[in-house]
Amino acid sequence: MRKTSREPRGAQLRRKGNSTGRLDQAYARYLRIALKLPGTEESTSYGTPAVKVKGKLLSRWRTEAEGALALRCDFVDRQILLQADPATFFLTDHYRDYPFILVKLERIHEAAFADVVLRAWRAVAPQKLITAYDHANAPQPR
C-alpha cells in the first residue's frame, strides 16, 4: 500500500491553475477567520481545500468553474444574502437544494465576512462548542 499525504492548501490552489495569487490571498483571509473558531480544521472535500467543524463540512473551495467558496448557509439567510449582494453571493443549480451559498471571496466586505462565517459555523458546530464560544465571548460587566 502506498501512503498518501495531504498537500498544503496553497499548493492545491496553485496546482489548480490559480496563478494570480489574488484568490490565494482571499482564501487565506477566509482561513484566518474560520480557523479561529472552535473545532475548525483544514481538510479536503472532493479533492479541493475545505474547512470542517468536528468532521462536518463548513466550506469547500470550488475550483471547478467559478472559483468561489461554497459556504454552509441556511435557506433563509441564503435568500437574504442573494438579494442583498448578488455580485458577491450566488448559486449554481447544483447547490439549489443544499444549505450552501457560493461566495466570491475577492468581493466580500471584511465586516460582513466574519459575520457570514460565524453564522455558517453555528449551523455546523455541535451545541457544546457553540455554548462554550458564546460564554467565552460574552460581554463582560463593567
User: Is 27-125 in CATH node 2.60.40.10?
Assistant: no
pLDDT score of 19: 42
Strand partners, 59: 51, 71
Binned at pLDDT 50, 70 and 90, residue 111 comes out as: confident
Cell of 8: 498544503
Task: Count CB-CB contacts under 10 A for residue 100.
Answer: 24
Helix (H, G, I), strand (E, B) or coil at 51: strand
DSSP at 7: P
Angle at 37 between CA 35 and CA 39, to 5 degrees: 90
Q: At what angle do helices 110-124 and 22-34 cross, to 10 degrees?
A: 50
pTM for the structure as a whole: 0.81
Q: Is it the case that residue 65 has pLDDT exceeding 70?
A: no
The CA distance from 112 to 79, in Å, is: 15
The per-residue pLDDT of the chain, averaged, comes to: 86
Does the CA dihedral 119-125-131-136 come out positive or negative?
Answer: negative
